[in-house]
């Protein structure tokens, strides 16, 4: 059981950076994400299978979602060739050739043993030409159909991914074609890749109405707290992003008063904690101590702030779920947005 809306910590290579699974669980996380492309390269999906599958490999007994490698088509574009058959990557580790087709992405994920497998999709940067976006959209639908036909495990759920850039017409068409294939869930991909927040929100408004209300809607790779709340209002259920842990490693803490940059000297003798109501280990210490850890380059600093930021995100989503049940979500969103100020 995963209560929605929910935020998934990103464990790209089978680990949420800097945290043990017990620490991740203590943040309130219900489900985590791992990445097919990275695990296929290192240590290899067969090694993971030999070590008991992804859950045993990580030591995580909750649900795991694996991305298909579609985002790497975008992020490693200079190393990637895409055809209608699939994508050919040059490994960022050792330069060796890695071919990923929709069928191969399914095979890797079935070998890893995740609970939710994402179909392979084609992500392109924004802005882009209408022809490039339309071609990627059509390829994504074709790959989704092939992924569905390739699935063999009955204990693994498949989510399709809606593409279409910022075009409401393409988003609608892509969503309708994927819904006709009757997947268990639907992701909204190809956002947070260069567009403005307003463009992202309008794209969600153009997409979510065409996705089933009784299937999870997953906004991939979007993670600013305000974006989560805006997306929930527009019908999104599930999120992932490296933002809480990446920012935590770089001394930025999320709070109800906005983000705090703890390397700033103003916190040197600050006795306050980040949040007196937060149960995370970072909030057992003073801001002055947390700043000291980063200035002294102690590894405990990134660990503590990663735990805090993930806990903050989970508490934010708990609040959203409670507000939805109480029919006061818009008021909850306004309260949070009014408290978040510019970074200090």
Cβ–Cβ under 8 Å, residues 263 and 251: yes
Residue 289 gets the label, from left (phi > 0), alpha (psi -120 to 50) or beta, of alpha
Is 85 catalytic? The answer is: no
Task: For the beta carbon of residue 265, count every other beta carbon within 10 angstroms.
Answer: 8
Catalytic residue (one of 121, 227, 240, 275): 240
The backbone torsions φ and ψ at residue 142, rounded to the nearest 5 degrees and listed phi first, read -65, -40
Round to whole Å and give the CA distance between 20 and 194.
33
Cβ atoms of 160 and 105 closer than 8 Å:
no
Question: Which residue is catalytic, options 46, 67, 84, 256?
Answer: 67
Q: Which residues contact 342 (CB under 8 A, 6 or more apart)?
A: 258
- Catalytic site includes residue 256: no
DSSP bridge pairs for 98: 89
Burial 71-101 (b: 16+ CB within 10 A, else e): bbbbbbeeebebeeebbebeeeeeeeebebb
Say if residues 133 and 167 touch (Cβ distance below 8 Å): yes
CB atoms within 10 A of CB 35: 21
- CB within 8 Å of 15: residues ≥ 6 apart: 58
Report, as residue numbers or ranges, the catalytic residues.
Answer: 67, 240
């Amino acid at each position: 059981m995963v209560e929605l809306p929910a935020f998934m910590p990103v464990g790209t290579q089978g680990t949420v950076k800097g945290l043990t699974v017990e620490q991740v669980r203590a943040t309130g996380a219900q489900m985590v994400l791992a990445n097919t492309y990275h695990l296929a390269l290192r240590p290899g999906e067969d090694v993971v299978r030999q070590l008991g599958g992804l859950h045993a490999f990580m030591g995580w007994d909750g649900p795991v979602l694996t991305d298909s490698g579609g985002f790497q088509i975008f992020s490693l574009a200079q190393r990637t060739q895409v055809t209608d058959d699939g994508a050919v990557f040059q490994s960022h580790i050792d330069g060796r050739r890695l071919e990923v087709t929709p069928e191969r992405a399914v095979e890797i994920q079935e070998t890893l043993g995740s609970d939710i497998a994402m179909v392979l999709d084609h992500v392109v940067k924004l802005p882009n030409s209408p022809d490039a976006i339309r071609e990627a959209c059509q390829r994504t639908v074709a790959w989704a159909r092939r992924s569905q036909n390739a699935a063999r495990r009955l204990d693994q759920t498949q989510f399709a991914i809606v593409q279409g850039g910022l075009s409401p017409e393409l988003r609608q068409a892509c969503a309708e074609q994927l819904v006709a294939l009757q997947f268990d869930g639907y992701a909204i991909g190809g956002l947070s890749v260069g567009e403005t927040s307003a463009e992202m929100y309008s794209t969600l408004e153009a997409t979510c109405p065409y996705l089933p209300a009784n299937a999870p809607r997953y906004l991939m790779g979007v993670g600013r707290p305000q974006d989560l709340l805006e997306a929930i209002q527009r019908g999104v259920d599930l999120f992932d992003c490296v933002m809480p842990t990446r920012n935590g490693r770089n001394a930025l803490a999320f709070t109800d008063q906005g983000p705090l940059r703890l390397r700033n000297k103003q916190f040197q003798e600050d006795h306050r904690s980040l949040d007196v109501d937060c149960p995370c280990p970072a909030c057992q210490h003073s801001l002055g101590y947390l700043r000291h850890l980063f200035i002294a380059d102690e590894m405990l600093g990134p660990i503590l702030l990663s735990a805090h930021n993930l806990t903050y995100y989970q508490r934010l989503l708990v609040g959203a779920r409670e507000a939805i049940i109480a029919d006061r979500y818009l008021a909850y969103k306004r309260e949070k947005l009014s408290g978040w100020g510019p970074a200090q």
